[in-house]
Chain A
Amino acid sequence: MNKNQTLSQNPAIKRGNLFRSMSLRNRLLLAFILLAILPVLITGTVASLISAGGLRNEAFNRLDAVASQKENEIKTLLKVLQTNLDLISEDNETQQNILLLLQNDTETEVVNTRLLRNEIASFIEKTGYFTEAFILNEEGTIVLSTNTSQEEKIQKNQEYFIQGLTAPYVASPTYEVALSNYSILISQPIKNRFGKIVGVLAGRVNLSTLNDIMQQRSGLGETAELYLVSSNFAVLTDLQHGELSLGETYMRTEGVTSAIRNKTSGSATYIDHTDATVLGVYRWIPELQVALLAENDQSEALQASTRVFQTTVGLILVTVLAAIFVSFVVTRGITSPITKLVHIAENIAQGNLELQAEVSQDEIGVLAQAFNTMTLRLSDLINTLEQRVADRTKALATTTEVSRRLSNILDEKQLLFEVVEQIQSAYDYYHGQIYLLDDSGETLVLAGATGEGGKILLERGHRISIERGLVGRAARSKASVLVPDTSKEPEWLPNPLLPETKAEVVVPILLGDKLLGVIDMQDSVTGDIFAQDVEFLQAIANQVAVGLQNARSYAGVQARAQREALISSINQKIRGETTVESALQVAVREVGRALGGVSTKVVLKNSNTEKN
């Protein structure tokens, strides 16, 4: 399942975030290149399209003009051919002979056929249009031809003969197997002097005549083709390109098909016989039943446009290179400081705070500056933290030390002295002192202090009302008081003997709910006393409370023991007396000595004896 999920998710992620997953540099690079290419591409494409459209029209117009010209030439040729055919029988004698020849009834050789044949032959040779001229009788038999092998052939089923019997006719190009070629036949009726049709005069025109017309290419381009196609799709005239066997090569391009199938004229763009795309103009010539094609390679016709396109492509390449170069430089300028910052950040992540970022003048410079500051602060912070850990360790050790000592010291004064000394030195405070609440519960008496100032204050028997100062507040509230900056504390009482004091902390010494005194620590640096210090001081204060209790109970026990020993020795001395008098005398003396009184009396009562 999991495998499937990852498999199905991965491509999606890749696709969706392709751009985002690219590096900053690549993204910038891509953006630069796109920005550079797009305008060139758009203008170039539009320009080549516009020029292509114009060139295409121009090419079609040129082809159309040539096609029109050729069509006219062909039509003119057909007229010339018919006129020429007419001219054969123009000469009176020739006409006479032809008519005589067609008068079948005379078996006798009234006409010198050889002479007539030669006459006609020399005429068509002179004009140069016909390859053969021949005369058919009413039955369609060739009675005379300039090509003798054609004579006697029966043509009565041929269209040119049937049509030629009634009016001048042009037959479409037809393949003649006996002659092994395509030819065009022109025919016209032969009338006798009474206007009766007695035969047909026909002329054969070789396709080369048409070929000659089509080969005069009147300023068409190199790739241009100008040719005729028979209605059976056979190519009738030579092509510039491609293998061709006249009359046997069939052409079925779109242009040819359009002209022959629809018997229309028009223009189109299509694939030609050489598989090239051509602009083609096609015309249907009904007189000859052939299609006339004028084609030009699209690539040649649109060469100028292609040049625009090529220029565009070239420009795109140049701009891409320029864009790559510029973007490389710019992105390097942007990304390399960032990369350096990233490198530094990675170092920081691994704990190395030694590195410094290069600072430039731009926004990244600001960032670098901020980075450096951050590194510095981090470094400081870490160092401070280390110092504080060390301090705390020391404080913990102090607390332990104070506790240990307190359990050993039973003398109250020495205890208090040790406590302030230890704390002050352990925390490196400027000054430390300890006050004990007197019996009245209204005044705090200085019981221990450090330094010269402390000594003087102690000697003076410094005391302070619990109504006053920070010390008083702590005592009243039975809670610690921390003043990081004494200058901002109105309740603070400056002491001329302690001029360096800038911060102060006071913790109460509490035994249960009973206030025994306060520990007061002063520092010469603002804000250098922390909440943790207070905790430790409070812990020490609690120890001090127990220590004080211990010391006091020890002193009490000692005093009771002395008293009981005194009572015992007085008792013994009293017992040593034999008389009541002396006994009372001793008792008074000893009690008085023990109590330090000036005078001692014993009063005896009857039933109640009282002793003071």
Chain B
Amino acid sequence: MKAKYFYTAGILMIVLALFLSACSAPAPADKVTVQLSWFHGVEYAGFYTAIEKGYYAEENIEVTLNPGGPDINPVDEVQNGNAQLGITSGDSIIIAKTNQQDFVAVATIFKENPLAITSLAGDNIQKPDDLIGKTVGVYSLDLSNFFDLPFLALLSRTGLERDSMQYALIEDFQGANEIKAGHMDAMSGMFATDQQVMAQDAGDELNFIYYKDYGYDVYINTIFATDEFVSGNSDLVSRLIRATMKGYQYAIEHPEEVAALALTYDEALDLNYQQEVMKVQIPFIDTGDGALGSMNESIWKNTQDILLEFNLISAPIDLSSIYTNQFVAP
């Protein structure tokens, strides 16, 4: 009889010990590397904020941010496993899909595409028609560069003739320098956010013709991962996106504070510049309708249409497989 009691007590104690150890020792944090689309900057403020404010820690995630650059393709980095998540444009994801690289966009940083044709306000270039007869700065004179795609799309959608204007190669991407130097009247493919601040700093006022208003409506910086990773780690992705979007929400409500965080990742950055960019990019991150990070099917469809039109893909794909809103707050 006594021996039986001892056994019972022993088992109970072991169970209790296991239970306690399960309680007291938390599971090790999930380690995730995110491949940024470009060099460090406030565009990624939500990630910085989530790290620095401990939003990732709350979700038991340890995030490493790998900066991008001209020679780094986030799609490849995620494909070869150097990073679990990456940031890239919606068209890149569709193109990758046709190359049998199955990615899923789980959120977008900018809900509006900030690419624009910039010109000095004094030149009064307000809409595509105003470009007729003017010289436009482009990435390649024959418009074959991938970054000239928005311009090609704009021409196509507005019905403007390619020959109705002249082209010049952009060499200086800083604000309106090239325009002021007389090399060109407008510059294509610029981030309205950056250019706006640069021009402001130089004392210039710019006009913007947003590509999104003329048919090139494409998500520019979606957060993506491989199909396999997303389906296998949906809880982790959910926690990660929740924390990241919480970071962006904090960022747009405290732009000056979080801009300073970017400097901890790249001390060469200029604080004032980062703060200004952070402020002007708020309307692109938060448009007022729908949750932060959420995406629209019509924009994905539009993206695909452009790619089809310019033969960058040969056949339409199943758009529902390319993005999901399941991880962003309703």
B91: interface (CB < 8 Å): no
Query: In the complex, A612→B179 CA distance in Å?
Result: 191
- Residues of chain A within 8 A (CB-CB) of B287 are 174-175, 232
A-B contact count (CB 8 A): 70
Asked if B324 is at the interface (CB within 8 A of a chain A CB), the reply is no
Candidate in B112, B127, B283, B287 with the most chain A CB atoms within 10 angstroms: B283
Given A182-B288, A232-B286, are A154 and B215 also a contact pair (CB < 8 Å)?
yes
State in angstroms the CA–CA spacing of A148 and B213 once bound together. 14
Q: Which of B253, B283, B284, B298 contacts A157 (CB 8 A)?
A: B298
Inter-subunit contact A157/B217 (CB<8 Å): yes
Q: Which residues of A contact B129 (CB under 8 A)?
A: 152
Check B236 for interface membership: any CB of A closer than 8 A: no
Q: Smallest Cβ distance from B98 to chain A, in angstroms?
A: 22
A interface residues, how many (CB within 8 angstroms): 31
Return the chain A residue nearest B300 by Cβ: A157
Of A148, A152, A162, A232, which contacts B288 at CB under 8 A?
Answer: A232
Among A175, A230, A252, find the residue whose CB has the most chain B CB atoms closer than 10 A.
A175
Are the C-beta atoms of B288 and A154 separated by less than 8 Å?
no
Asked whether B298 lies within 8 Å of A177 as measured between CB atoms, the reply is no
Contacts of B208 in A (CB 8 A): 177-178
Are B127 and A177 interface neighbours, CB within 8 A?
no
B149 within 8 A of A: no
Known: A152-B127, A152-B128. A178 touches B286 (CB 8 A): no
Inter-chain contact B289/A289, CB cutoff 8 Å:
yes
Tell which of B214, B279, B296 touches A154, judged by Cβ atoms closer than 8 Å: B214
Which residue of A153, A172, A177, A233 contacts B284 across the interface (Cβ within 8 Å)?
A177
Whether A152 lies near B214 (C-beta < 8 A) is yes
- Give the complex CA separation of A248 and B252 in angstroms: 8
Residues in B whose Cβ lies below 8 Å from that of A157: 217, 296, 298-299, 302
Closest beta carbon of chain B to A243's beta carbon, Å: 13
Distance in angstroms from B212 CB to nearest chain A CB is: 8
The answer to whether the Cβ of A234 comes within 8 Å of any Cβ in the partner chain is yes
| Shortest Cβ distance from B159 into A: residue | A152
A177 to B213, CA, bound (A): 10
In chain A, positions 191-234 with a C-beta closer than 8 Å to chain B are: 230-234
Q: Are B282 and A248 in contact (CB under 8 A)?
A: yes
What are the residues of chain A within 8 A of B134 when measuring CB–CB? none
A445 close to chain B: CB less than 8 A: no
- For B124, give the chain A residue with the smallest CB separation: A149
Q: In this complex, which of B213, B288, B302 has the most chain A Cβ atoms within 10 angstroms of its Cβ? A: B288
Confirm or deny: A411 has a beta carbon within 8 angstroms of a beta carbon on chain B.
no
**Across the interface, which residues of B come within 8 angstroms of A248, CB to CB?**
279, 282
Across the interface, name the chain B residue whose C-beta is closest to A174.
Answer: B288
Whether A154 touches B157, Cβ cut-off 8 Å, given contacts A174-B287, A174-B289, A250-B252, is yes
Chain A residues lying within 8 Å of B114, measured Cβ to Cβ, are 177
Q: Which residues of B contact A162 (CB under 8 A)?
A: 298
Q: Beta-carbon contacts of B293-308 to A below 8 Å, as 1s and 0s? A: 0001011001000000
Chain B CB within 10 A, most for which of A152, A174, A177: A177
Q: Please give me the residue from chain A that is nearest to B157 by CB atom.
A: A154
CB pair A234–B298 under 8 Å, yes or no, is no
Complex Cα gap A231–B329 (Å):
13
A345 to chain B, nearest CB (A): 70
Cβ-defined contact, B192 with A177, below 8 A: yes
Ranked 9 nearest A-B pairs via Cβ: A153-B213, A157-B298, A149-B126, A250-B253, A175-B283, A154-B215, A174-B288, A175-B288, A230-B288
Query: Can you name 25 A-B pairs with beta carbons within 8 Å?
Result: A148-B127, A152-B128, A152-B158, A152-B214, A153-B214, A154-B157, A156-B302, A157-B298, A157-B299, A157-B302, A159-B289, A162-B298, A172-B289, A174-B289, A175-B287, A177-B192, A177-B283, A231-B288, A232-B289, A234-B286, A234-B288, A248-B279, A250-B252, A250-B253, A289-B289
Knowing that A177-B208, A250-B252 touch, tell me 10 more A-B residue pairs with CB under 8 angstroms: A149-B126, A149-B127, A152-B214, A154-B217, A162-B298, A175-B286, A178-B208, A232-B287, A232-B292, A233-B253
**Chain A residues within CB distance 8 Å of chain B:** 141, 148-149, 151-157, 159, 162, 171-175, 177-178, 180, 182, 230-234, 247-248, 250, 252, 289
Interface residues of B (CB under 8 A from A): 112, 114, 126-129, 157-158, 192, 208, 210, 213-215, 217, 252-253, 279, 282-284, 286-289, 292, 296, 298-299, 302
